[in-house]
Amino acid sequence: MDFIKQFHSGWAYLTILMGVIFVVSTLVYAVSKKDTDNVVKKIGLITTIAFHVQLLVGLVYYIMKFSQFEGGNIMKSDILRLTFVEHPMMMIASVAFMTVANAKLKRSTIVPMSIVIFAVVSMACLLSRIPWAIWLG
Ligand code: HEM
């Protein structure tokens, strides 16, 4: 349990970092109308891998935490609702948006603005429902 918790906590830095790099680089390519090249495709691949690893570890962590949950009304408590409902749902949405952005990127010859929008929406979902107080507090 401790290793999974530490991993999920630490890998989150890489996930956020890669998400930011993806948004900035696709934005630069889209604005400068640069052709899609291997550099931006590699960034897309690494970002997607980072997101999916975090998703899988998050699912494992969720199952472990939920199996130790001693009961109570999840929806009535802000912290339980964040941990067991809002955080997982928004993170799954975030990973889905980022996966679509990368799939579009792989097929593109120049980077369209729609990829940047998908990536920004993904990061908005992600950053809005991280349990900041638990993580950094
Ligand atoms: C993919 C993006 C994700 C990111 C960036 C992320 C990030 C984080 C961070 C930073 C924490 C706080 C860690 C700490 O306690 O030090 C956390 C906690 C947690 N995450 Fe995630 N997570 C993601 C996905 C998921 C998913 C998909 C699930 C479950 C299906 C999940 C389940 C949990 C649970 C159960 C906690 C524990 C909260 C608590 O200790 O009360 N996470 N996550």
| Mutational pocket test of ligand 1: of 5, 15, 47, 61, the residue with most ligand atoms within 8 Å of the beta carbon | 61
- State pLDDT tens for residues 93-134: 999 999 999 999 999 999 999 999 999 999 999 999 999 999
Taking 80 as the threshold, does the pLDDT of residue 25 lie above it?
Answer: yes
DSSP lists the bridge partners of residue 35 as 110
Taking 80 as the threshold, does the pLDDT of residue 12 lie above it?
Answer: yes
Residue ranges with strand state E in 9-126: none
Angle at 73 between CA 6 and CA 127, to 5 degrees: 45
Report the run of H or E that residue 88 belongs to, with start and end: helix 87-107
Residue nearest to atom 28 of ligand 1 (CA): 58
- State pLDDT tens for residues 53-68: 999 999 999 999 999 9
Give the per-residue pLDDT at 55: 98
- State pLDDT tens for residues 29-59: 999 999 999 999 999 999 999 999 999 999 9
Confirm or reject: Cβ of 61 under 6 Å from ligand 1: yes
Contacts of 25 (CB under 8 A, 6+ apart): 39, 40, 43
Is residue 82 very low, low, confident or very high in pLDDT (cuts 50, 70, 90)?
A: very high
CA nearest neighbour of 47 among 8, 82, 7, 20 = 20
Give the per-residue pLDDT at 76: 93
Question: Rounded distance, CA 31 to CA 26, Å?
Answer: 8
The rounded Å distance from CA 11 to ligand 1 centre is 10
Question: Rounded distance, CA 105 to CA 107, Å?
Answer: 5
The rounded Å distance from CA 32 to ligand 1 centre is 36
